[in-house]
Amino acid sequence: MTSGVFPSGSAVEITVDGRVVAACDGELLAAVFLRLEDIHTRTSFPSAQPRAPYCMMGVCFECDVHVENIGTIRSCQQTVHAGMKVERQDYPKRLK
Amino acid sequence: MDREFEIAIVGGGVVGAAIGYGLAKLGRRVIVIDGADDALRASRTNFGLIWVQGKGDECPEYHRITRQSADLWPAFAMELKILTGIDVEHRRNGGLLFCVSESQAEEERIIGEKMAGIHPDYHFEMLDRSRLENMLPDIRLGPQVCAASFSHMDGDVNPLLVLRALLDGFVRLGGTLATGENIYSITPILGGFRLATNALTVEAERVIVAAGNDSTDFAKSLDLPIRLVPERGQLLITERVAPVFSYAASGIRQTVTGTFQLGTTNERVGRSVDVTSGGARHIANRALNVMPDLGALRVIRQWGGLRVLTPDGVPVYDRSRRYPGVHVVACHSGVTLAALHSGPFAEWLAAGGRDPSYAAFCGSRFTMGVAA
C-alpha cells in the first residue's frame, strides 16, 4: 500500500513541535519536513546553526529529530504514521 | 643530485602528515603519498586523547617526548588555526583515570608515584570520590567509582580535524599530496629512490615510511628494523547531549559538539577491523560503571580500528641498515605526538636524522638479539 518514499499512502496528521502537519501514512518523516515552510530539523550545537535533511540516506545525521516513544532518530530513516508526535532538536538533550 | 623531491613520505595518516607538515615548513620539497580507501587508516578511527599520564612507564625517553609534544600542542593548535582556519578543538583540561575498585586505585597510585619519582615535573594526584563529585557536578557517578588518578598534563583534540588540518597545512606550505595511491615498489636508484604507485612514479633523495600497520609491507625489501603487533580497538559513539564533561578520560570523551565517545577494546585479531557485540558489551559495561546515565543515550555508531603497536608499545624512529636514506616511523600515539613530529622531530629529520637524539627508539631492539 505504501512505498515508503512516494506519498501515496492515506492522508494522516502528525504534530511537529505541537503544530498539526498533513502527511501521508508511510512516507519518510524527512520528506514531511522538506515540505514545511521551515524545513529545519535541529539546531547544531554549539554553532547554533539550523540544520535540515541533507543526505537522505542515514549518513549525515543532520535530520535528527525527537519522536515520542522512540527517542532521537534520523528522520530520513523513519516512516510516518497517524498521530506521530515529533519535536525538532533545538536544544541539546540532557544527560540526566 | 637534483630530484624533484628531497623527501617522499609513504603514508598520509596523522604521522606522515605531521612529519610532512614540519618538513614543508622548513622549506623542504616533500611529497606525501597516501593510500587508497582500502588502507587500514588507523588515523581515522582515533579516540583523540593527548595522553601523558603513565605513558612510557617502562621507557623514560618515551615519556619525555610525550610530555614534550603535549606541551607543544597548545601553540601548535593555534598555528594550525591561523594557517588553515581549522579549529582542531584542542583542550588541555586534564585527564581522569577512573578507578572502580580500591585495588585499581592503589595500582594507579603506584604507577603515578613511580613516574613522579623518575620525572621531576610529572603531575598526578589521586582524587577520592567526594572530590570527583565536586569536580563533576553534572554527572552522576556509578556506585563503584571510588577514586580517579588526575593529571593536568592530559588533554584532547578532534582527531579527524587534526588530520584534515595537517594535510591542508602541508599543501599550503608547499607540500605535494598524492592520495589514493597504492605503492607497489620502492627501489634504490643513484642518489635516491624511485617509488612506483598504480598511477605515478616519484623520485626522491630520501624516503620516510610512515604507513602505520602497512609499513611492515616494506620491512623486508628495504631492510627496515620494525616489528608491529596490530591491536584492534572498538569504539561506541552516542547521540549528542549538552556538554557536561570536558576532561580527557580513560575510555570516555565528550566531544566539543556533545557526542560521547566510549572505548575501548584491546584485541589481537590479525587485520580485522570488524565490530562485535562482545566488544560493544565490554565498552558499554565499562562506561556505565563510571557514568550510568550514559545508558539512556542512543548509540549511533560503532567502529573498529587497528592500533599501530610495537611489541613494547614504544615508538620506532629508525633507519634502514642497508639504505640509510630510508627512515621508518611507527607509533601508537600519533595524535599525542603530532606536535613533536611536526616540530622538533621534523627538524631532526631535516638535519639528516643521524644524531642520537632518538636512539632510544631504534627498531633493532626487536629485530636483533634476544629481544626478538
Higher pLDDT, B27 or A4: B27
Chain A's closest residue to B297, CA to CA, is A95
Question: A59 CB near a chain B CB, below 8 Å?
Answer: no
- With cut-offs at 50, 70 and 90, classify the pLDDT of residue A6: low
Compare CB distances from B241 to A46, A71, A95 and report the shortest one's residue. Answer: A95
Place of cell 514531511: A32
Contacts of B240 in chain A (CB under 8 A): 45, 92-93
Contacts of A92 in chain B (CB under 8 A): 240-243, 258
- Phi and psi at A86, nearest 5°, equal -115, 140
- With cut-offs at 50, 70 and 90, classify the pLDDT of residue A88: very high
C-alpha cell at B264: 575501548
Strand residue runs (E) in chain B: 5-10, 30-33, 49-50, 95-99, 125-128, 147-151, 155-156, 176-178, 183-189, 192-197, 201-209, 231-240, 248-249, 252-254, 259-263, 299-307, 316-319, 326-330
Contacts of B91 in chain A (CB under 8 A): none
Beta strand pairing status for A19-24 and A11-16? Answer: antiparallel
Question: A48 CB near a chain B CB, below 8 Å?
Answer: no
With CB atoms and an 8 Å threshold, state whether A95 touches B240: no
Q: Tell me the count of A-B CB pairs closer than 8 A.
A: 39
* Fold of domain B231-307: D-Amino Acid Oxidase; Chain A, domain 2 (3.30.9)
Chain A's closest residue to B137, CA to CA, is A96
User: What's the confidence (pLDDT) of residue B37?
Assistant: 85
User: What's the confidence (pLDDT) of residue B370?
Assistant: 43
User: What's the confidence (pLDDT) of residue B285?
Assistant: 97
Compare CB distances from B241 to A44, A64, A94 and report the shortest one's residue. Answer: A94
Stretches in chain B below the pLDDT threshold 70: 1-3, 368-372
A65 found inside a domain: yes
With CB atoms and an 8 Å threshold, state whether A45 touches B240: yes
Question: A77 CB near a chain B CB, below 8 Å?
Answer: no
User: What's the confidence (pLDDT) of residue B78?
Assistant: 98
Domain count, chain A: 1
Domain range holding A20? 11-88
| pLDDT digit string, tens, across residues B186-230 | 999 999 999 999 889 999 999 999 999 999 999 999 999 999 999
A4 found inside a domain: no
With CB atoms and an 8 Å threshold, state whether A95 touches B244: yes
A56 found inside a domain: yes
What pTM was computed for the model?
0.93
Beta bridge partners of B11: none
DSSP H helices in B85-225: 102-118, 129-135, 159-172
Higher pLDDT, B370 or A37: A37
Question: A69 CB near a chain B CB, below 8 Å?
Answer: no
Stretch(es) of chain B classified as CATH 3.30.9.10: 231-307
Give the whole-angstrom CA distance, residue A86 versus residue A69: 10
With CB atoms and an 8 Å threshold, state whether B293 touches A96: yes
| pLDDT digit string, tens, across residues A44-57 | 988 899 999 999 99
- Which helix (H) or strand (E) segment holds residue A16: the answer is strand A11-16
User: What's the confidence (pLDDT) of residue B38?
Assistant: 85
Q: Which of A41, A51, A62, A95 to mutate to test the interface with B (most CBs of B within 10 A)?
A: A95
Contacts of A70 in chain B (CB under 8 A): none
CB atoms within 10 A of CB A47: 9
Chain A's closest residue to B141, CA to CA, is A96
Compare CB distances from B298 to A72, A92, A94 and report the shortest one's residue. Answer: A72
User: What's the confidence (pLDDT) of residue A96?
Assistant: 80
> Measured in whole angstroms, how far is the alpha carbon of residue A50 from the centre of its chain?
14
With CB atoms and an 8 Å threshold, state whether B298 touches A71: yes
CATH classification code of B5-52+160-227+312-367: 3.50.50.60
Q: For residue A77, what is the domain's CATH number?
A: 3.10.20.440
Compare CB distances from B258 to A71, A92, A96 and report the shortest one's residue. Answer: A92
With CB atoms and an 8 Å threshold, state whether A61 touches B242: no
With CB atoms and an 8 Å threshold, state whether B242 touches A93: yes
Question: A18 CB near a chain B CB, below 8 Å?
Answer: no
Give the whole-angstrom CA distance, residue B8 versus residue B19: 11
C-alpha cell at B293: 546515565
Chain A's closest residue to B241, CA to CA, is A93
Give the whole-angstrom CA distance, residue B135 versus residue B94: 12
DSSP B213: G
Beta bridge partners of B95: B151, B248
- The distance of B49 to chain A (nearest Cα, Å) reads 21
Compare CB distances from B242 to A44, A61, A92 and report the shortest one's residue. Answer: A92
- The distance of B241 to chain A (nearest Cα, Å) reads 5
